[in-house]
Chains A and B, each alone.
Chain A
Amino acid sequence: MNVTRTSEITITRRGKVALVVIVLAVLMGWRFGSRSLNFVAAPTLAALVVGALHVRRSGKPTVEFSEVDAGFPGEQRTLSVTVTGSGIATVNLVLPRGASDGQTDDESVAAIDATVTLPHTFELQPTLENRGIYEIGPPTVRQRGALGLVERRVETTATTSLAVYPQRYGLARDGVVNRFFTDELETERQEFDRLREYTPEDPLRHIHWKSSAKHDEFLVMEFAPTQRTEVVTIAATATTGRADEMARASATIADVALAAGFEVELVVPDGVLPPGQGKLHRQSLLRLLAGTGSGSIPDSVTAESDVAIEAGADETSVRIADRAYGLSDVVTDDRRTPEMEGVA
């Protein structure tokens, strides 16, 4: 539940200048003759009074954010900010560095910098940018008179959280990673189930050429569905400033393992995710990787893990089973196309 409080009506810096002008006009008029000074002082006073009354009569606002789905960098999200109440308000919202408003590269420019009559709903289309778990908001809301001479600050705790997953790497062509997981799969393809007719969905390599030669049609050999219960443990550490790389590498490998049907356990400096499979597990895993920082984990855990990722100051090493690679050997720098719930 958001808490929204309004503070006292205050005179802005501009309003103070207006007050000084009024006082000066009155003093000068009193001391040296009125001249046209009333035509300066009276309208300015009117502007101040009208502004104060307008703000006073304005209904107190509340602020509400919409939920934003987590996602990978480069994806676009919609975010709506609803400010209720009445009167005029200036609303400012700066997006965290995990998202940009898609219009400008300049991070210092606010996503919302608007003067509107309330109630008003702002629709934003932020683009996710950098890995992390962020809080969007609270916005600054100031109810003001039309000329900005008086204002009332609105204190609000309204926020919404935003998780940006680590960007996954593309896999290197020689398929070191794939081989590790899929070779495991190959070895278990031995439990023959039945032969069936080929359908266009089947990969060509599944065609059983021997049997097909004996028939007029292509046949595909089916194996009994594997109930994979094996757990892949991924342990990742990073020295300061290398957490991003660690998270990206971990996400890349974990994704492959999940897709291959393994249960994945993840141990990172900021937390441990018990083994699991499925859509929700994948989201929890990516979320843990989105938020983790650099640090180390006990050596024993690393030693027992199937995959150990160590993001060092100079290079990142990846150990899969008993073989060690440099990160650049197993992945390419290409971004993986952001398909979301591919295989899981």
Chain B
Amino acid sequence: MSQRRDTRGRWLPTDRLERAAADRVPWWDELVAAWARLSVVRLAALAGSAGLLLSTLFVLETVLNTVNTTLFTVETKLLFYLVVGVSLVAATVLARYVRPRVALGLGVGMLAIGLVWHTISLDTIPDPLALLASNVELLTGRRVTEIVKADIWGLGVAPAPTFLTWYLALRREYVTAAAVGGATLGYFVLTGDATGMVTLLGVTSGAALIGFGDLDNSEWGGGAPDYVAIVVALMVVTPLVVTIVPGGAASPVTFLGSESTTMEDNIVSADSDLEILGSVSQSASVRFTVESEQARYWRTGSFDRFTGDGWVRSGGESSYQSETLQEPPGETEYLLQEVDVESQLEALPAAWRPIEVSTSVADRIDVTQNGGLQVAGRIDSGESYQVLSAVTNPDAQTLIEAGTDYPEEITERYTQLPASTPDRVGEQTSELLESAETPYEAARITEQWLKENREYSLDVERPDGNIADAFLFEMEAGYCTYYATTMVTMLRTQGIPARLAVGYNAGEPTGDGEYVVRGLNSHAWVEVYFPDVGWVPFDPTPADPRQDVEQAAIENARASGSDSVDTEETAPADSGPGEIQTPSIPDAGPNESERPAAQVQNPGFTQVTDRDQIAASEAEEFNATFEQPVTQSAENTDDELDEAGSEGQPILPPREQLALGAIALIGAVAGLRQSSVGRRLSTAVRIRYQRRRDPATDIERAHERLFLLLERRHRPRRSGETHRQYLDAVGADPRARRIAELRERAHYADGVSKSAADEAVSLVESIRGDS
């Protein structure tokens, strides 16, 4: 470095710059410079892009939380945070060096790689048409959580929008950033994965991104940012009071949970996801009649993935071809069922496991990944079909000896639990199943325990959070969905593959192997997997109270003269409803046909073995000890919450609601600033209060207060009018002139004394006191 000095040896100014250049710390100086370049609107626009990003990431995080798997021995959630972090850093760095076109290419590449990775991870490579079809399904409301390997899908999809949105926002391409982020959020809204609040956070953040971005990209002046904040705040509030999308109340959950929902609608009509509701009603209308040698559960579907508040069936469907349907691995026998449909069905009830359907409906049938049959479209009343099932009737001994040598794909698919499942579920289940040596015993004990310790009721308030946890620890009553969900969860905590099955129970037998099935026969139960046997049904719902409820519903319907309650066979005798043959609702199970239906007590198994009795008694014994800890722990939780509250640690609402609250608050403040009320208020405050600092500032401030005061009493100072002219014009008194004089002296003469400042301040106070 050349060192130039002038003749007296002083550094020349240019050299000072050079020395400064030599001394500078690159990253720190750049950071300081970058900070200096940030304006309020730039910060607000970036905050908007962050909000938009967060909303989509919240959705993906929820998906990963639900699937809750490990990849490469790491929790997928951690991998997800890593991927998102890396994308953000990459966007920040590349925003300085890479042109938008290149970045756009990178983003598209990332998405492509992610999707290809997901496709490869599937066992079968789907053809492009199927991929397109599945995307259409997603966009019309099929959940992302229903995707097979949703964890890999989420990880693969996350980086591209994260990278692009943040990159574009940093490049000041705010509108494009909003378009990318908005499209991503829109996708999740259409799939139904984005909750209302998360959506609202995303939409309003996107609006802020565009509004503040506009201001950042041009000069701005006046209160323009305030207006953006006001509009965004109004956007937050609007959907809470206005609903313009048909069929959608402000809160979809409460809407669906209203009285009008029947359990059947909820359970059987659910195509690929099942939401667990609060209170439901029952419909007594006859749905179909079955002619079958055995009374079975007429199953319409099953769900493998528990989301914490509902169920989804992952993977799509393939169209029905009889050769694709396999028989269960164990000993089976064929059961032919002939079904006459009495009112339109959107499902195909059949005993597990259906292997062939009659040609009358075959072209409408899809096969799900769980091996069940599903109707694409519907089966109209008056139609009939035949279905052949290969049913298993294993005895207890077979199941005890079945062991735990599960196929890997079964374990992977059917032991999933959402991350929202508290540890206490597993802990309590372990305690309950201490003596259980085999999965079969575990299943029986759990089934029995639930039957005996929870009341059956259709009128329940839907709990928040994890349904299984709530039913186990907080609720006293529930209906089949609650029982079955809880049992599956409990078994899964022990590593036993289980799933939720839905459909209808056997219905009302009318002799000759005919069963009349009504809407109220809709039911949910549990299927547990046993190696070399296949799926075996268990039903933790207590049978008697359920039958009472169902019978009451039928009688009510008959009393009200409904036609659809009965078929010719079941019509009540003239003697009145009291003499109706009680529908036995035989809980179908193995060996069902060997015993009279009315005697069936345990849905899973009727051959009560010694081991069964032991299991049952163990469950009872356990109750004595289990009941206690349950209530205690519930109380503990309450106490803990109370304590937390009293210690000043309020329980925070969800983070997206906090963010929305903040947006609304900022908007309110901005609105106040722009309204005349706000201006008057701030003027009043500025006139009233003065914080003393140094004499020069104090005098300046006193002068400002004087003029605010005078302008409020008389008229605003015109532009171009000097302070003196104004004082003359409004005929200000000597005190005001003295303040002006003190200020002039402070301005143009050297030195301001503290006494002068004191005098100015006290004069303003005395003028203010006049009014």
Contacts and interface: CB of A to CB of B under 8 A. Distances in A.
Given A42-B243, A90-B218, A113-B219, 7 more contacts: A26-B244, A29-B245, A30-B247, A39-B189, A39-B197, A42-B242, A114-B218
Interface string A135-176: 000000000011110000000000000000000000000000
B141 A32 contact: yes
B248 A40 contact: no
Q: Give the size range of A's interface with the partner.
A: 35 or more
A25 B185 CA distance: 13
Interface string B216-254: 001111111001101100111011001111111110100
Nearest to A54: B227
A342 interface: no
B245 A34 contact: yes
B207 A47 contact: yes
Contacts of B218: 90, 113-115
Given A50-B231, A145-B231, A146-B211, A39 B244 contact: no
Nearest to A37: B245
A118 B194 CA distance: 40
B245 A30 contact: yes
Contacts of A51: 231
Q: Give the size range of B's interface with the partner.
A: 35 or more
A36 interface: yes
Contacts of B199: 36, 39-40
Interface of B: 140-141, 175, 186, 189-190, 192, 194-200, 203-204, 207, 210-211, 214-215, 218-224, 227-228, 230-231, 234-236, 238-239, 242-250, 252
From B211, B231, B243, name the one whose CB has the most chain A CB atoms within 10 angstroms: B231
Contacts of A50: 231, 234
B49 to A, nearest CB: 15
A16 to B, nearest CB: 14
Contact of A35 (B192, B214, B222): B192
A40 B242 contact: no
A28 B248 CA distance: 11
Given A47-B235, A117-B223, A28 B190 contact: yes
B245 A115 contact: no
B242 A29 contact: no
A30 B248 CA distance: 9
B673 to A, nearest CB: 11
Interface of B, helix, strand, loop or mixed by DSSP: helix
B215 A115 contact: yes
A112 B221 CA distance: 12
A298 to B, nearest CB: 52
Contacts of A88: 224, 227
Interface string A47-61: 100110010000000
A115 B204 CA distance: 21
Interface string A64-79: 0000000000000000
Contacts of A34: 245-249, 252
Contacts of A32: 140-141
Contact of A25 (B195, B214, B245, B250): B245
B247 A120 contact: no
Given A25-B245, A35-B248, A39-B199, A147 B224 contact: no
Contact of A117 (B210, B211, B224): B224
A43 B205 CA distance: 11
Contact of A42 (B186, B192, B195, B244): B244
A103 to B, nearest CB: 11
A40 B243 CA distance: 10
Contacts of B223: 117
Contact of B219 (A28, A36, A115): A115
Contacts of A38: 196, 239, 243-245, 248, 250
13 contacts: A26-B245, A28-B140, A30-B247, A31-B140, A34-B245, A34-B249, A35-B192, A39-B196, A113-B219, A115-B214, A116-B222, A146-B228, A146-B231
A231 interface: no
B162 to A, nearest CB: 20
B211 A147 contact: yes
